[in-house]
Structure 1
Amino acid sequence: MEFDLPSEHRMVRDTVREFCETEVAPIAQEIEDEHRFPREVFDQLGELDLMGVPAPEEYGGAGGDYLMYALVAEELGRVSGAVGLSYVAHTSLGLMPIVAFGTDEQKRRWAAPLARGEAVGAWALTEPSSGSDASDMDTTARKEGDEYVISGTKQFITNANIAGSVLVKAVTEPGAGYDGISTFILDPEDDGFEVTEVWDKMGLNASPTCELRLENVRVPEERLLGEEGDGWTQTKKTLDGGRISIAALSTGLAQGAFEAAREYATEREQFGKPISKFDAVRDMVVAMNRKIERARLLTHKAACRYDEGADVTRLSSLAKLDASEAAREVAEDAVQVHGGYGYTTDFAPQRFYRDAKLMEIGEGTSEIQHLVLGRELGL
């Protein structure tokens, strides 16, 4: 069993880390305060060939694997949860389903621009009334000749207002349950496609979260991804990768919070010595490190098994559950280590703390992860 990263993966990780330190960290709080999507950061990620890390080179990607992609997501999360969230939504939700399930023409027309960083991708599954029961879907796609007419509302869609393409789930056969759901590639320029809300959130405000209204959006039948009725099978496969994405992002958030706490604890003095010398603070920082190491190991194991083509439903769910809870716990403790300063926006832990909470909600809540894991264990 090998725990050291391959040299190519280390090189990519180090490149991303340097980029994050010089280009992202200095503006991380600014873009959050301004609720501004940092387009320039994503343009630079495209120039570094990082917007399509796991996509094949023939479709504009870097030809890497999911472990390499997870390392990029972690490094982005280490300095900005918002940048990391838009990045993983673009890659695992907006891009990779086209690579996995699309025709050659769909990959060249829609996946390649995303992989090259010429556009940002999005994925629209959740609806206002569905929540954790994502299959409870009111959006419909009615076949008319060689077109589909799509109508409905989608909720909490990352990147929707800045996307070049959006993958939309819709019911093509009412009454068929899971087998009646299909996936369509929508262009935000399509008539009837409207972003009706960009939500103000507790955190991650540099990553736009939107409501979509689709009113008789007509798309040609070649925009159907896969076959009619494949939508839910595609969703389950996509969520396996998506949970690894959130696990990696969560690990990065936890790492960033830990590093801030460790640095502060060794520099801040009380009663004539650094607060890191007090048992309560030292033990808190040690516990942070332990949780991060566990989360990273689970995430890397899930990513490696995904790359091997194995069934990773249990592992991806376990990694997502553990890493997301670790991120929130580590970030909360980092605020505590900083004391009053930790509650101010002059210090990063408050941002990590607010950002981390979504990790326990998105891509399936912690409660849903327990449900998935119970089923995988035969319970």
Structure 2
Amino acid sequence: MNSMYFTEEHELFRESLKEFLKKEVVPHIDKWEKTGDIERFIWSKFGEMGYFGIAYPEKYGGLDLDLFYTVIFLEELQKINSGGFAAAMWAHAYLAMTHINKEGDDRIKEEYLTPSISGEKIGCLAITEPFGGSDVAGMRTTAVKEGDHYVINGSKTFITNGVYSDYLVVAAKTSPELGNKGISIFVMDRDTPGISATKLDKLGWKASDTGEIAFDNVKIPVNNLMGEENKGFSYIMQHFALERLIMGVNSHARAEYAVDYVLKYMSEREAFGKTIDRFQALRHTVADMASEVEMCKEFNYSITKRLNDGQYVVKEASMSKLLSTKMADEVIYKALQLLGGYGYMEEYPLARLLRDSRLGPIGGGTSEILREIIAKMIIDKKEYKPAT
């Protein structure tokens, strides 16, 4: 492992996490992939081990560790070959909880962050809408202030943990006439009257519950507003850097898993009297694959270091997601090919890995949107700045 970024303590954490996942998670993965329902007990176990609190303040039960512990958490989750299970965990810990931690006041943190860290409550982040997709500014969900309440109407879709979560972090327009400058962020309990959810059937990520959520005159107290009214867009953009880096790290980790699996398979599989890792065409394919993984991994580690140091890395994180997700799809496609007919069989890991990986260039901002964001920064010299 690269000692430029990882200490001995990091590696001890990695080994402990690997053992935990092998013992507590892997035996249940096939069942959760079939049912699409991750049983609640595992959330509590993750909480007991402190895995949800890695990046959060000790005041609320967290460990307040550096971002490379988060990288290890993400990497090892990818290597148990369930993109859906991994997504449920990191969407809770780094999408919903990030907003609670950054924009929530002390009451909200006590009520939502503390039980999220312990695994008692599961959160989801609800931004994407049926008619908006990657166009956050085009959202139609509204929050109208009426006395001491806001009334929420609208819908969200493609929301990870959108069906079984206990609370929702929701973006809505408080001043629609202001466009993207009129968005606010709220937290609300799942059992609030007027909230309904429908589970979506997906190509991959089968273990996670991805939902479409409707809000029908949902009344929430004004103190469930997080941060300042109409500052929601800047909060969302600020946290997108972390989300995109997470998806970049996920990508290099699952691609690395595919390469490792293929190396083992090729060393055992024989054809024409020798193992197939002796055939030049296949050897050179693997050399390309491993090189691409390593390049993305090193880039992602360098971005992690800069983000951990407090730098604003929206450009680099966008590049990470764009290139790493593309790389992962290509590497996993080649890995499946190297297994021949066995790659197409469900009893081997590559079929599921290929399906799960395909969401990478779509979720968290499509590759097409990312290219335009990057083009604005490098061609139009547009600057994205942190929320103040």
TM-score, normalising length from structure 2? 0.94
Aligned to 1:76: 77
Q: 2:130 aligns with which of 115, 128, 148?
A: 128
Aligned to 2:193: 191
CA distance in 2, matches of 1:278, 1:147: 68
CA shift, 1:4, in A, is 4.1
Aligned runs of 1:63-212 on 2, under 5 Å? Answer: 63-79=64-80, 80-195=82-197, 197-212=198-213
Aligned to 1:340: 341
Q: What is the DSSP-based 3-state SS (H/G/I as helix, E as strand, rest coil) of the residue aligned with 1:206?
A: coil
Q: Report if aligned partners of 1:84, 1:249 keep a CA contact under 8 Å in 2.
A: no
CA shift, 1:377, in A, is 1.4
Distance 1:358 1:38, change over 3 A: farther
Q: Report if aligned partners of 2:6, 2:68 keep a CA contact under 8 Å in 1.
A: no
CA shift, 1:309, in A, is 1.2
Q: Report if aligned partners of 1:73, 1:87 keep a CA contact under 8 Å in 2.
A: no
Q: Report if aligned partners of 1:78, 1:254 keep a CA contact under 8 Å in 2.
A: no
Query: For residues 41-79 of structure 1, what are the alpha-carbon distances to aligned partners after superposition, in whole Å with 9 as ceiling and x for unaligned?
Result: 333221211012111111121211222112201110111
CA shift, 1:182, in A, is 0.2
CA shift, 1:346, in A, is 0.6
Distance 1:27 1:273, change over 3 A: farther
Distance 1:58 1:7, change over 3 A: same
Q: What is the DSSP-based 3-state SS (H/G/I as helix, E as strand, rest coil) of the residue aligned with 1:98?
A: helix
Distance 1:24 1:327, change over 3 A: farther
For 2:350, the aligned partner's letter is P
Q: What is the DSSP-based 3-state SS (H/G/I as helix, E as strand, rest coil) of the residue aligned with 2:219?
A: strand
Q: What is the DSSP-based 3-state SS (H/G/I as helix, E as strand, rest coil) of the residue aligned with 1:310?
A: coil
Aligned to 1:57: 58
Give the 4+ runs in structure 1 shifted more than 6 A: none
Distance 1:258 1:20, change over 3 A: farther
Give the stretch that moved more between structures: 335-344 or 107-116: 107-116
Q: Report if aligned partners of 2:167, 2:188 keep a CA contact under 8 Å in 1.
A: yes
CA shift, 1:18, in A, is 2.1
Aligned runs of 1:1-379 on 2, under 5 Å? Answer: 3-79=4-80, 80-195=82-197, 197-379=198-380
Q: Report if aligned partners of 1:345, 1:351 keep a CA contact under 8 Å in 2.
A: yes
Q: Report if aligned partners of 1:199, 1:210 keep a CA contact under 8 Å in 2.
A: yes
CA shift, 1:120, in A, is 1.6
Q: Report if aligned partners of 1:298, 1:318 keep a CA contact under 8 Å in 2.
A: no
CA distance in 2, matches of 1:280, 1:43: 48
For 2:175, the aligned partner's letter is E
CA shift, 1:25, in A, is 3.3
CA shift, 1:37, in A, is 2.0
For 2:47, the aligned partner's letter is G
CA distance in 2, matches of 1:260, 1:6: 26
CA distance in 2, matches of 1:30, 1:271: 38
Paired residues in the alignment total: 378
Q: What is the DSSP-based 3-state SS (H/G/I as helix, E as strand, rest coil) of the residue aligned with 1:129?
A: coil
Q: Unmatched 5+ residue regions in structure 1? A: none
Distance 1:126 1:102, change over 3 A: same
CA distance in 1, matches of 2:105, 2:295: 39
CA distance in 2, matches of 1:251, 1:87: 18
Query: For residues 133-190 of structure 1, what are the alpha-carbon distances to aligned partners after superposition, in whole Å with 9 as ceiling and x for unaligned?
Result: 1211110001011110101111111002121211000000121011100000011010
TM-score, normalising length from structure 1? 0.96
Distance 1:339 1:27, change over 3 A: farther
Distance 1:295 1:38, change over 3 A: farther
For 2:309, the aligned partner's letter is E
Give the stretch that moved more between structures: 206-215 or 23-32: 23-32
For 2:145, the aligned partner's letter is K
Q: CA RMSD in A?
A: 1.5
Identity of aligned residues (%): 34
Q: Report if aligned partners of 2:44, 2:118 keep a CA contact under 8 Å in 1.
A: no
Q: Unmatched 5+ residue regions in structure 2? A: 381-388
CA distance in 2, matches of 1:49, 1:72: 11
Q: Report if aligned partners of 1:52, 1:117 keep a CA contact under 8 Å in 2.
A: no
Query: For residues 327-379 of structure 1, what are the alpha-carbon distances to aligned partners after superposition, in whole Å with 9 as ceiling and x for unaligned?
Result: 11111111101110100111001111100010111111111221122122134
